[in-house]
């Protein structure tokens, strides 16, 4: 998979994208991530890409021309262009799973007070990472990249890990424990030490439903 991230601030991605699972996936060649800076497509001699909104109001908007030229510079026939926006459909595991099947994603990060609305004609989907407003689309782009890369076969050391996780079947994950078997007087459930895989599997299914009912009843209702 190839991901092009359109951003005025590529430096923001350096830390998160050069550590842990994302770095490993890049090194293994499972994903190629590139950055496109709209400033490189500005016709202004100072590489300016923003201006005041028509009709008045606070702040500055990203101009359509440099942003669309940046998108078009990397668009292919099989590209899906996503604008990260608080106005988009709220991102969830099902969306991550469908995006993980794409060949080429272009993630467009807005900034300042947002973007000229005419840019939206060049976008296939708008995605929000939650009902709150952030300063820019960079952190939302990182969230989307992280969630979908871990679904690419081979990205996680243990693929089973991704399969059993929270939200895969609309349920939260069952409680997990590791050594020691007794800690501060609290014991790991006996069944997990029994070696009976069928019984463990059925215990986990039951506990996943109990945890979901307690913490996220909305998921069960859905």
Ligand X SMILES: C[S@@+](CC[C@H](N)C(=O)[O-])C[C@H]1O[C@@H](n2cnc3c(N)ncnc32)[C@H](O)[C@@H]1O
Residues engaged in binding ligand X (CB under 6 A): 84-87, 109-111, 113-115, 128-130, 132-137, 140
Q: Which is nearer to ligand X, 50 or 212 (CB)?
A: 50
CA distances from 149 to 14, 34, 122, 154, 198 (A): 16, 14, 24, 10, 31
Q: Which is nearer to ligand X, 18 or 135 (CB)?
A: 135
Q: Which is nearer to ligand X, 88 or 175 (CB)?
A: 88
The closest of 125, 127, 137, 148 to 31, measured between CA atoms, is 148
Q: Which is nearer to ligand X, 113 or 173 (CB)?
A: 113
Q: What angle do CA 212, 216, 222 make, to 5 degrees?
A: 90
Q: Which is nearer to ligand X, 126 or 173 (CB)?
A: 126
Please spell the DSSP secondary structure of 88-132, one letter per residue.
EEEP-HHHHHHHTT-SEEEEEEP-TT-B-GGGGGG-SEEEESSSS
| Minimum distance from residue 211 beta carbon to ligand X (Å) | 27
| Minimum distance from residue 144 beta carbon to ligand X (Å) | 9
| Minimum distance from residue 109 beta carbon to ligand X (Å) | 5
The closest of 133, 202, 126, 216 to 167, measured between CA atoms, is 216
Q: Which is nearer to ligand X, 54 or 132 (CB)?
A: 132
Q: How far, in Å, CA of 99 to CA of 147, rounded?
A: 10
| Minimum distance from residue 89 beta carbon to ligand X (Å) | 10
Q: Which is nearer to ligand X, 105 or 129 (CB)?
A: 129
| Minimum distance from residue 29 beta carbon to ligand X (Å) | 29
Q: Which residue is nearest to ligand X (CB)?
A: 110
Check whether the bond before 186 is cis (ω within 30° of 0). no
| Minimum distance from residue 62 beta carbon to ligand X (Å) | 8
| Minimum distance from residue 40 beta carbon to ligand X (Å) | 19
For the chain, the farthest-separated pair of C-alpha atoms sits apart, in whole angstroms, at: 71
Q: What angle do CA 78, 168, 134 make, to 5 degrees?
A: 65
User: Phi and psi for 45 in degrees, rounded to 5?
Assistant: -70, -20
């Amino acid at each position: 998979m190839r991901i092009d991230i359109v951003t005025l601030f590529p430096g923001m991605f350096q830390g998160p994208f050069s550590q842990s699972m994302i770095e490993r996936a890049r090194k293994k060649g499972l994903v190629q991530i590139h950055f496109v800076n709209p400033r490189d497509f500005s016709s202004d001699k100072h590489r300016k890409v923003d201006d005041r909104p028509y009709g008045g109001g606070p702040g500055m908007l990203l101009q359509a021309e440099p942003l669309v030229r940046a998108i078009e510079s990397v668009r292919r026939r099989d590209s899906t262009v996503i604008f990260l926006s608080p106005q988009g459909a709220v991102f969830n595991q099902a969306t991550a799973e469908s995006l993980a099947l794409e060949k080429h994603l272009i993630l467009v990060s807005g900034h300042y007070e947002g973007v000229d609305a005419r840019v939206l004609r060049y976008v296939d989907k708008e995605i929000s990472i939650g009902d709150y407003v952030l300063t820019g689309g960079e952190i939302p782009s990182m969230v989307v990249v992280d969630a979908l890369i871990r679904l690419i076969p081979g990205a996680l050391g243990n693929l089973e890990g991704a399969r059993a996780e929270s939200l895969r079947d609309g349920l939260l994950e069952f409680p997990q424990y590791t050594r020691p078997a007794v800690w501060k007087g609290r014991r790991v459930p006996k069944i997990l030490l029994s070696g009976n895989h069928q019984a463990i599997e059925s215990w986990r299914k039951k506990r996943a439903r109990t945890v979901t009912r307690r913490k996220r009843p909305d998921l069960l209702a859905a």
